[in-house]
Amino acid sequence: MNVFDFTQSRILVTGGAGFIGSALVWDLNQRGVDDIIVADFLGQDEKWKNLVPLRFNDYLEGDDLIRRIEAGDPAFNDIELVFHLGACSATTERDAAYLIRNNFEYTKTLAKWALAHDARFVYASSAATYGDGAAGMSDLEIDLGAFRPLNMYGYSKHLFDVYAARHGFLDGIVGLKYFNVYGPNEDHKGEMRSLVHKAYRQIVDTGSVRLFKSHRPDYRDGEQMRDFLYVKDAVGLTLELAETPTAGGLFNVGSGRAHTWIELATAIFEALDRPPKIEFIEMPEALRGKYQYFTRADLTKLRGYCKNVELTPLKDAVADYVRNYLVPGRHLGDEVAEPTPEPAVAAASAGGI
């Protein structure tokens, strides 16, 4: 089996200034790859800062990219690999028309173009397509019609999965059902930031972390469970699937383990060398019917293709994120700026113990 050679390929990364997209470009740079076109919608937030330490050949706004592709611009004809990671990922977004245009129609156009130009197409689906998990969370023998996403974001992702399957090309592309990814370069995501990022800020400012109470009798407060995946592992798995020509269809991309919110919060306190202090608050009414109480990726299919990526244990990943990125305020690519601080010193510099 031949392996896709990134060093000999021209690569397009949409959402390349975003969280997972910029981490992917960083990982490619680590491998000596910089023949990359980055596309995104920079807007008015500060995700442009994710691009500053990275190496790539060109940047395009997302609407310019799609316009030029639809016009048949030959400048893109030598692209051999497309990572389509750009999307509106806000689970609270209520403008359904916007999500259809941005997440569904854009993906259809780019996928059709990639297939017509014999370029490998790897795109971000989402674990949000599974809904509450009543139909399972397995990527083996998937019955897409059984899934009931709980929010419009999840449905916009689900629509493309279904479209690709119905039009017979899903097995010729790679769809990534990312679970709860966290790590460096998510600063710009606002309320969609991971709990690690939010909790770090809360701990520095108040000394404690606030978690939602449970509104189901089978889960105690803070014992709602998620499959948390470090972004460095997420992009490592993504690249291994991309470079394996026989990999096709939908893949769960997670850690394969479910941890409670309390376990995650405790790991953050440990990274800062502080005793845990957790408060439980009421979950907003608007979220209660859309809240996932348990997620865990079934990695059976993924493990059949990804044999070279060792996943980072939760405590180690959280410690790396907190101590090497959040405390010193670094982005991926800034790692050599200064030595890693000791936990107590780092916490003091970030707001005091």
Catalytic residues: 153, 189
CA distance 167 to 254: 27
Contact 127, 138 (CB under 8 A): no
Sequence-distant (6+) residues with CB within 8 A of 312 are 230, 232, 233, 320
Task: Confirm if 35 and 57 have CB atoms less than 8 A apart.
Answer: yes
Q: Write the single-letter amino acid at 167.
A: H
Instruction: Give me the long-range contacts of 130-138 (CB less than 8 A, separation at least 24).
Output: 130/154, 130/177, 130/295, 132/292, 132/293, 133/292, 133/294, 133/295, 136/298, 137/252, 137/295, 137/296, 137/297, 137/298, 138/252, 138/298, 138/300
Question: By three-state DSSP, how is residue 291 classified?
Answer: coil
**CA gap 92, 99 in Å, rounded:** 11
Residues with Cβ within 8 Å of 324's Cβ and at least 6 positions away in sequence, in order, are 330, 335, 340
Query: Which of 252, 230, 170, 187 lies closest to 45, judged by CA?
Result: 187
> Is the Cβ–Cβ distance between 259 and 225 less than 8 Å?
yes
Residues 6+ apart with CB under 8 A from 297: 127, 137, 177, 179, 227, 229, 252, 253, 254, 255, 256
Angle at 256 between CA 216 and CA 163, to 5 degrees: 85
Output the CA–CA distances (angstroms, integers) from residue 216 to 147, 212, 288, 292, in the order listed.
21, 12, 10, 11
Calpha distance 103→41 (Å, rounded): 13
